[in-house]
Amino acid sequence: MSIDSTDDSVFKALANGLRRQILDALKDDPQTTGMLCERFSELDRCTVMQHLKVLEGANLVLVRREGRERWNHLNALPIRAIHDRWISQYSGHAMSVIAALQQQLDGEEE
């Protein structure tokens, strides 16, 4: 899989608010699928599992099976790769623009 198609699957997974909430739920500790179904009780089990499948396909969730339980673990590395490739490059430019604006505003106040 190319970097662009990997990025596409990560962006697609992160585009859905519920999937971001699932990732937030996994941030501190891994959880079983049953635990996630309880946490998102407004959804049926099939819907939660479909969202987990998208997250797993984007490599954002790693699954480990223990007996009949399926433990879902957050894998933040794809998010870090997106940050390194896209966000960090642009944040430096954005900060320089903000600093220049601040200097301009400070000059106008004098």
Residue 57 has pLDDT above 70, yes or no: yes
Q: Could you tell me the pLDDT band of residue 3, with boundaries at 50, 70 and 90? A: low
Q: Could you tell me the pLDDT band of residue 4, with boundaries at 50, 70 and 90? A: low
Structure confidence at residue 30 (pLDDT): 97
* Sign for the pseudo-dihedral over CA of 17, 21, 27, 30: negative
Cα separation, 95 vs 97, whole angstroms? 5
51: number of Cβ within 10 Å:
20
Q: Could you tell me the pLDDT band of residue 63, with boundaries at 50, 70 and 90? A: very high
DSSP 10-68: HHHHHTSHHHHHHHHHHTTS-EEHHHHHHHTTTS-HHHHHHHHHHHHHTTSEEEEEETT
The better pLDDT of the pair 65, 104 is held by: 65
Which of 40-44, 56-60, 79-83 bottoms out in mean pLDDT, i.e. has the lowest?
79-83
Domains annotated on the chain, with CATH: 3-109 (1.10.10.10)
